[in-house]
Amino acid sequence: MLNLGNNIKTLHGYDKNAYTYYPVVIVGAGESGVAMGCQLKEQLGFDQFRIFERGAGIGGTWWINRYPGVACDVPAIFYSFSFSPNYRWSTFHPPGWEIVQYLQEVCAKYQITDKIQLNTEVAELRYLEDEELWEIKLQHLVAGSGDLTSKQRQHRIEDEGLKSVVLREEVIRAKVVCSAAGGLVEPNTWPESIPGIESFEGDVFHSARWDHDVDLNGKDVIVMGTGCSAAQLVPKLPKAPYNARSVTQLMRSPPWVVPKPQPPLGAEKWEKYTPALFTTFPFLGRAFRRMTFFVAELHFFQLFPDNSFSEKARKWHEAELLKFMRKSVPEKYHEMLTPDYGVGCKRRIFDETWFPSLSNPAIELTTLPLTSIQPRGVTLGPGRTYPDPKDQNSKVPNDERKLPADVIVLANGFATKTWLHPLRVIGKDGRLMSDIWEERGGPQAYMGSTMDNYPNFFIIFGPNTATGHSSVILASENMVNYTIHFIKRILSGDVRTFEVKKAAEIAWTKTMQEKLKDTVWMSTGCQSWYKDAKGWNATVYPFSQIDYSLRCMFPRWGHYDIQYTRKGQIKRRVRQNAAPSSGTSPSTELPVPLTGNIPPAGMDSYGADPQGYGRDPNQPQGALDNANKRKSDDGPDHPARSKRSRYISIACNECKRRKIKCNGETPCQRCGNMSLDCVYAPNCCTSNFKDSEEFRVMNASIQSLQEQVDNLYAHLNALRHEQQNPNLGPQEHTSYPPPPAFGTAGPQTYHHDAVSPPQSREKHAHYQGPTSTAFNFEIANASLQTMGVTESEVPDGNAVAFDESLADPQLQAPVATMAVHPTKDPLWRMTKDDAVRLCRIYDEEMGIMYPIINVEEIIERAKFLFTFTEAASRSGLVRTNRAGPDSLGSADNNILKMVLATALTVEANGHSDMGQALFESVKDASESRLWEPAELKGLTLLAQYHFHTDDEVRAYRIIGLAARFCLEMGLHRKEILAKTLLSTEERHQACKLFWSIYILDRRWSFGTGMPFAIQDADIDPALPEPKAANPYLTAMIPYTRISTTVWYAVVNSQGEDAKFDSGIIESLDHQLLQWQKALPEDLQYRPSQTTPNSRTFSKTQRRIQVVLYLRANQMRIFLYRPILHSASSIMENRNHAQTVLDIAKDTVRVLTQLNQAWDIYRTQQVCFNYFIISALAVLLLAVSHAPAEFSSQIRDEFYMSLELVKGFSTKSYVSQRLWNTIKRLKESGPKLGLISRQALAHANDPHSSAAVAMAGLAGHRVDEMAVFNPSPGSGSLGSAPLNGQQMSLELTNLFEAAGGYGNLMASSTQAADGLNGYPNPSSESGKGEGMSAFYGNDGEFTRIVGELF
């Protein structure tokens, strides 16, 4: 016996006997395996396990079965885990690929994807008795070969060798093994009784291994079978994209076909409204799920028991189904499709396409048997499989037919009778489980989960656990929860092994087989895959799922041999010593063999079972007896009781039959004395359903649900009639906090107390790259300190404190707000029209450029949500003027909130109280999802919001995280997308999201000067790019690739030793110009087209044209900007300096034309203002270093830009950045050499007077007496401009102060070959350059102006 603990570890080094130890091993990654892994993490917090899956993907039967039309026939709301419900199914009956996607999302949510090892087959399990461990033989398969059938793999090994399938073998060990191997995976093979298959020249494959490489176009297809798979695939084959010429379907006997359940209100409305409704209000989804469950349970009692009540219900049901069949199919099929057995005997087909497809002349249904195969055809008949060929009155064809055949599809079911195949399970004494099953009559397991002789081995969804009426997922969850009870005690170190007792297992199996005889599945004339040729039914459970659920909740520990650890033994002794003595010792008790009926789970699960039903195995029996006051009188030290032993209402079968009292023990006093079988079971004396325990349990559950609804209604009424002042402030409600809202993990707060403002986060220094605005300012500040200029520490160049008292009013459309209490969710303050309008604004501002979400879907969701909120407010269901959050905090609603918050911020040019409130309402949820890769859309929206609130560093940080999540999820690799996303539309959406994040990552890297996350070399060259529907995104991808090279060129041009490499710059400039020329004609902007009528363009198209044009200009400015950093570089590169100046002037003129000809600029300033200030910075740099050379030629464009600046909102991040630069220049101007016009003014100064005149003509108020030397008492500039007019005035002063200096320099310079306005280096005054030569500031003006970039 080894105790290896609860951690995965490798033992024995590199010895040949080395192995890896896993505390828990799960076999199979289908629904059951995924549920087991998730619950180990959720319930036990345990992650030291491994799931081995033979296939190449997660999903089990849903991964394997990919035939045309594969879908779930259970209502979607009932086909998801209770611990992770899915309310977003696309249809009422979801397709197979969507179920696979759901299982993958669950694995990602519970972070168990890395615990799943694909392409690994568990070949053998062998129990090592001495070590109490399971030895597991693994076969690591060639990728994809696990998706083949066992025979296909065997044939490949025979033809190509073992290495063609098995890469290597490995032996591991585990303390606990859970088998989640499914039954609908291994398909049935070709019937051996049909000869000639070897000569067939066409394709033959099973529906469960659909060969998508086979082209069915124009071919004759034979489909063998009429089960659920065949009913789904046959209607698809004659249609596109398969286009089969003919489809002949061979039927052995007709199935009962049930109209597929339709959702309330119809499929269209269900698919449109319920995903949003159930996601927003999860309690409605849970209620509908429970209702579906109880309806399914009701159907069980109506159809499956073999009693008079169910017989009547079946007859009525059969008559209705025959009516449905006769009106749905041609008359020639009526006799053929009339079953001769009761409904429920076989698995029913829930159909909405098969019956209608039989009217298609390309599809033929026949009961002629397949008798032989020819190279290009098949022979059917003579004879027929149904109706009886001896029936002379039947009109169903009986003669032999030969049909052409190109493809044969087997839809003849699965090998459901060979459980765990091909896994070999070897227990104690080296015995195979399959051998024991053969000896005992057939596959079996106690509770469908455990077998004697196989300790610590649990089967999930084992023998006799399937359901013919309910959800498979529900049954799997029940068994997972049952198994968790045992694993918990093993992992806690209290128990070494659990092994079910042989007597308990045999009694359970005997009861199962006996009770099945009382069901329709074993009725006369019923032949199905539920039972084998001997009549052994190892498939279905004979009772309801309510019964099985309760049994799984309360394990009967007395039916198990439990080997305790030393720790567990000590605990038991302590409890035994603390408890009164009892006549029965739990350590020696043996179960009485169960015969007849098994007691229903609810009857003796609360302490009445001395064998320990529902009791912790560590709890002594005496303690349980004491708790229930059922102490034995047999103990020698126990005093005699004055009263007789308490009798209880529960009675065994014998006591019930004789109508005598029973003490509830097993055996009871009478049966023990008379050596009778003491069995507790429902309905021992009556067949009345209403007297059964199942009915009582179900009725109690319904009453409990009704009580919950009544309590909820009473609570709402109490709130409605509560007399409360609606104007109370937040502090007056602190005595009773609002209840948590539906759909949220806890209470949320949407307002801040005025007296306790939220604490700001502590600022930490971080790296600033060479392209960032703060980078240039830090250099300037360091140089100023070296020069002896003392200044206060400068904040981040991108963040400027905003003085709201000086702000101009917001120029935006008003948002209708209702009287809503501040604790309510902000969405309650908005109207539907406002929400739709804001979604449109988001689409126009960002959606057309970065399609990370489907805006139309968001708008539809907004309409649906606000229809509900407005109705709830009108009806009084929600009192918006009362305290309480009434949160609308689902994931979809949070996406909507971020869209609205961003649109409000954009509309308000940088700051919106309502937008801030919306962001605060999702802040906690957004930050909690920063570690979930599945939230890429939410992360990108969050980054966009922060960018538009002038927090570019945080936007950069979040988009970088999103970019890394993209890499983690493999969105940058085509092959990963193909494997993980089965739908073409999903792959297309994922590509759009990835490329949007890729572009934003580059864009904000340039803005902050810090490196980007996604490198071009990491992206798959074959990764698809967006379609033509997203022209901006498509155009920006090559632009962004060029920007990568520009980035490194800009980085290399910084520093003392950096040099301007003219060749590289010119090459990159050429690439940018070529990119611009290569744009499609409808994306080209021609500056000559200055009027809306010059060509028919929509506003959106024109805006994209201008933005792309300005993007090219912007990147070219980045390239050439270093030339303007000093006068010497301008002298060395005069042509390039003129180029960057021309680019900046062109940018200003384009925006001016746009403003004059369209209303695009005025309505969407946020998009264009960044280009304006970059151009302004170039103009200021040029006039500062070469005033006489450049001031005259850029004056017109400068004042054009001022007209645009006048329209800036003081709250926009662009305005704050520009104002910060103005403030710094004004404070440091005298030390940098910027002097007022008054100091330069003289009679021969044409620029000064011209500047004043032009400023006046331009409408600017110019004060010639004070620029950088304000009069006493005037004070410094405020933290924010009063309005755009003030910014325009200050920029005029800066321009004239910088440009005016050129006259002074020109008059003192004599060199003819020097740059206009600068001395010749050989002249006496040539000690420096421009203002630097005179004042020694070493280009500080350049560095401060660099903030504008």
Task: Note the pLDDT of residue 346.
Answer: 83
Under DSSP, the state recorded for 883 is: S
Under DSSP, the state recorded for 1346 is: G
Task: Note the pLDDT of residue 216.
Answer: 95
d(CA 408, CA 1029): 41
Task: Note the pLDDT of residue 123.
Answer: 93
Q: Return left, alpha or beta for 825; rule: phi > 0 is left, psi -120 to 50 is alpha, else beta.
A: beta
Helix or strand run (H / E) with residue 27: strand 19-27
How high is the mean pLDDT in each 10-residue block of the chain (1349 residues)? 84 87 95 95 93 93 92 86 90 91 93 94 94 95 90 90 92 95 83 91 93 94 93 94 95 91 84 85 85 84 81 88 93 92 86 92 94 94 88 88 95 81 88 91 92 95 83 89 95 94 94 87 74 82 88 92 91 72 37 36 35 48 41 38 48 72 75 72 48 63 64 55 38 33 35 36 45 43 40 39 37 53 79 89 84 87 83 72 68 86 81 84 73 71 84 85 86 83 81 90 82 88 82 89 84 58 83 89 76 60 86 86 77 84 87 78 68 77 74 76 62 55 50 40 40 36 37 45 54 52 39 39 36 40 49
- Is residue 1152 within 8 A of residue 1162, CB to CB? The reply is no
- Is residue 668 within 8 A of residue 678, CB to CB? The reply is yes
Under 8 Å CB-to-CB from 838, ≥6 apart: which residues?
Answer: 815, 899, 900, 903, 904, 907
In 3D space, the residue among 357, 351, 356, 381 whose CA is nearest the CA of residue 369 turns out to be: 381
Partnered with residue 459 across adjacent β-strands are 179
Task: Note the pLDDT of residue 20.
Answer: 94
- Is residue 141 within 8 A of residue 119, CB to CB? The reply is yes
d(CA 105, CA 98): 10
Phi, psi torsion values for 910, nearest 5 degrees: 125, -25
Under DSSP, the state recorded for 368 is: P
pTM for the model:
0.54
Residue type, 1038: P
d(CA 1113, CA 34): 53
- Is residue 790 within 8 A of residue 714, CB to CB? The reply is no
d(CA 600, CA 594): 13
What's the number of CA atoms in the CB half-sphere (13 Å) around residue 383?
Answer: 7
In 3D space, the residue among 163, 115, 159, 158 whose CA is nearest the CA of residue 139 turns out to be: 163
Task: Note the pLDDT of residue 850.
Answer: 87
In 3D space, the residue among 1067, 1051, 1184, 1072 whose CA is nearest the CA of residue 1124 turns out to be: 1184
Task: Note the pLDDT of residue 1052.
Answer: 61
d(CA 983, CA 192): 38
1051: burial class by Cβ within 10 Å (0-12, 13-18, 19+)?
middle
Residue by residue, DSSP assigns 916-969 as HHHHHHHHHHHHHTTT-GGGHHHHHHHHHHHHHTT-HHHHHHHHHHHHHHHHHH
Phi, psi torsion values for 141, nearest 5 degrees: -95, 155
